[in-house]
Structure 1
């Protein structure tokens, strides 16, 4: 393989940052204003967004440092080097379980929201299955081509969000944002935890750093990747609270989509902007699902090298679909989401940070 061909199969620091932003800005951005409004009052939610963003950046930086110590090696490979193969098998299988559960959550979220805003008469089971089949098709192709879809889709999503915010500016009421600095530290930390759950996704740095041209630039990519969602969360929270007030936002299932419903284009030449907004948002959730399923396959093939990629896709898809259909209502669905996130905090945050500390103490380092 020529050096030029190898370079074409690598991704840059900025591309990795866009991938991180795309996977982070998923379903969570549609729901976080509700959880944040319940925990804090008015303006103070912005403090919680910043606190949780800084914590996410610190954890992400540590994860990037771990992956950068072992360039061109998979998560399983460098975990085996640091902590032995049995530990690597156990931890990597748990990571696969976590990523599969995340795919189940995302495809069910698509089913729920699409039925509510787009396909009123279509069973959620069929919407979810259709979306899963499309995700399967994307994962079956080239990994680099799949990652490069984010370069195409994320700018479109950001433009649509900007469009929605511009046309809701006239609906902002400063009184809705008040009071200022009235929440206790306990409330602010509770709000940070609530919005922090929506930052899940930046852990992809653990698995895709090996595809970077310069793996040592992983921490810088993390900075770019989290700057975008933190900025979006701050802006969207201000608009949701400013338009609806905190009391109303507490009772909205998807406040960000409801914000899009408030858009009125002069002349009335385009109605139901929330349908367009959600249709565009499907691209982001699609990329998120594809990356999580691809990471599942990547980890499984790194452990069981003789099993082909397509075999894993076909074997795992029925399990993912079955799990996605388990929640019977929205209460179960959001409880499922919280359980996945807390499980992920242990598996893809705490354990890798412990691996980094062990690697530093033992002086273990990979070679490119």
Structure 2
């Protein structure tokens, strides 16, 4: 492989930041205003958004430092160097379980929301299966081409959100956001914890840093990738509370989509803006699912190199679909999401931070 060809297969700091933003802006953005409204009971949830974003940035910075310490090496390879090969196998398998569960969560969310807002008569099982098949097709191709889809899709999503917010500005009532600073610190901390799932995704830096032209720029990519969701979440939360009030928002299953339903474009050119909004949003969730499934396969192939990517896709897909269909109702689904958040906090946040500290104590470092 020539040096030029290899360079074409690497991504820049800004591209990595967009990838992080895209994978972070997933299903959670559709539900987080309800979680915050329940926790704080007021407009003050914006403080929890910022606090949660700062915590996510701090954790992401440490994850990026760990991955940059071992450039061009997979999670399994540098975990084995730091903590021995048996430990590397165990931790990598636990990470694979997390990433696979996240794919299941995302595709089931697509099934639930699509049935509620788009395909009323279609069984959720068929919607979920169809989406999984499309994700399979994306992952089976070029990894860099899949990542570059984020450069194409994310700007479109921002344009649609901007249109929704523009046409709901006139619906904002100042009384809905009063009183200011009425929540105590316990409520704000509870809101910070509740919005945690909405920031899940920046941990992809652990696995994709090896594809960066300059892995040492990983921390900067984290800053770019998290700044976008934080600003977006702040804006959406303010509009949701301003339009519906906190009391109404806490009873809406998907407040962000309900906000889009309030849009009335003059002239009646579009009568159901929420359908257009959700259709565009599917592109972001598609990229999120594809990246998580790809990360699962990266980790598995790093441990079991004789098994090809295509074979792993065929092995994992039935299991992912089976797990996605386990929740019987929305209560089970959101319980699954909550448990997944805590599991991810342990496996892809605390464990890698511990690995970084251990690597520094032992003076272990990779070579590019």
Question: How far apart in 2 are the matches of 1:230 and 1:26?
Answer: 13
**Which portions of structure 1, spanning 4 or more consecutive aligned residues, are displaced by more than 3 angstroms?**
none
Cα deviation, 1:48-97, whole Å, max 9, x if unaligned, reads: 10000000000000000000000000000000000000000000000000
Question: What does residue range 228-247 of structure 1 map to in structure 2 within 5 Å?
Answer: 228-247=228-247
Correspondence 1:282 to 2:282? yes
Cα deviation, 1:205-262, whole Å, max 9, x if unaligned, reads: 0000000000000000000000000000000000000000000000000000000000
Aligned to 1:357: 357
Cα deviation, 1:144-189, whole Å, max 9, x if unaligned, reads: 0000000000000011000100000000011101111111100000
Aligned to 1:121: 121
Correspondence 1:148 to 2:148? yes
Gaps of 5+ in 2: none
Aligned to 1:216: 216
Question: How far apart in 2 are the matches of 1:281 and 1:314?
Answer: 27
Question: What does residue range 67-86 of structure 1 map to in structure 2 within 5 Å?
Answer: 67-86=67-86
TM-score normalised per structure 1: 1.00
Note if contact 2:157-2:280 (Cα within 8 Å) is conserved in structure 1: yes
Question: How far apart in 1 are the matches of 2:356 and 2:269?
Answer: 56
Aligned to 1:91: 91
Question: How far apart in 1 are the matches of 2:175 and 2:91?
Answer: 50
Deviation at 1:42, TM superposition (A): 2.3
Correspondence 1:190 to 2:190? yes
Aligned to 1:45: 45
Aligned to 1:6: 6
What SS does structure 2 have at the residue aligned with 1:367?
A: coil
What SS does structure 1 have at the residue aligned with 2:43?
A: helix
Deviation at 1:43, TM superposition (A): 2.2
Deviation at 1:197, TM superposition (A): 1.9
Note if contact 2:118-2:275 (Cα within 8 Å) is conserved in structure 1: yes
Question: How far apart in 2 are the matches of 1:83 and 1:92?
Answer: 12
What SS does structure 2 have at the residue aligned with 1:306?
A: coil
Question: How far apart in 1 are the matches of 2:196 and 2:178?
Answer: 23
Aligned to 1:271: 271
Question: How far apart in 1 are the matches of 2:303 and 2:345?
Answer: 23
What SS does structure 2 have at the residue aligned with 1:43?
A: coil
Correspondence 1:26 to 2:26? yes
Note if contact 2:171-2:243 (Cα within 8 Å) is conserved in structure 1: yes
**Aligned length, in residue pairs:** 368
Correspondence 1:293 to 2:293? yes
Question: What does residue range 334-345 of structure 1 map to in structure 2 within 5 Å?
Answer: 334-345=334-345
Question: How far apart in 2 are the matches of 1:39 and 1:7?
Answer: 47
Note if contact 2:36-2:195 (Cα within 8 Å) is conserved in structure 1: yes
Deviation at 1:324, TM superposition (A): 0.2
TM-score normalised per structure 2: 1.00
Aligned to 2:204: 204
Aligned to 2:167: 167
Question: How far apart in 2 are the matches of 1:341 and 1:87?
Answer: 23
Aligned to 1:327: 327
Question: How far apart in 2 are the matches of 1:84 and 1:301?
Answer: 18
Question: How far apart in 1 are the matches of 2:55 and 2:308?
Answer: 38
Question: How far apart in 2 are the matches of 1:140 and 1:75?
Answer: 21
Deviation at 1:196, TM superposition (A): 1.7
What SS does structure 1 have at the residue aligned with 2:264?
A: coil
Correspondence 1:313 to 2:313? yes
Note if contact 2:43-2:246 (Cα within 8 Å) is conserved in structure 1: no
Question: How far apart in 1 are the matches of 2:85 and 2:293?
Answer: 23
Question: What does residue range 48-59 of structure 1 map to in structure 2 within 5 Å?
Answer: 48-59=48-59
Question: How far apart in 1 are the matches of 2:129 and 2:358?
Answer: 42
Deviation at 1:342, TM superposition (A): 0.5
Note if contact 1:41-1:179 (Cα within 8 Å) is conserved in structure 2: no
Cα deviation, 1:303-329, whole Å, max 9, x if unaligned, reads: 000001111000110000000000000
Note if contact 2:111-2:127 (Cα within 8 Å) is conserved in structure 1: yes
Note if contact 1:22-1:150 (Cα within 8 Å) is conserved in structure 2: yes
Question: How far apart in 2 are the matches of 1:85 and 1:341?
Answer: 27
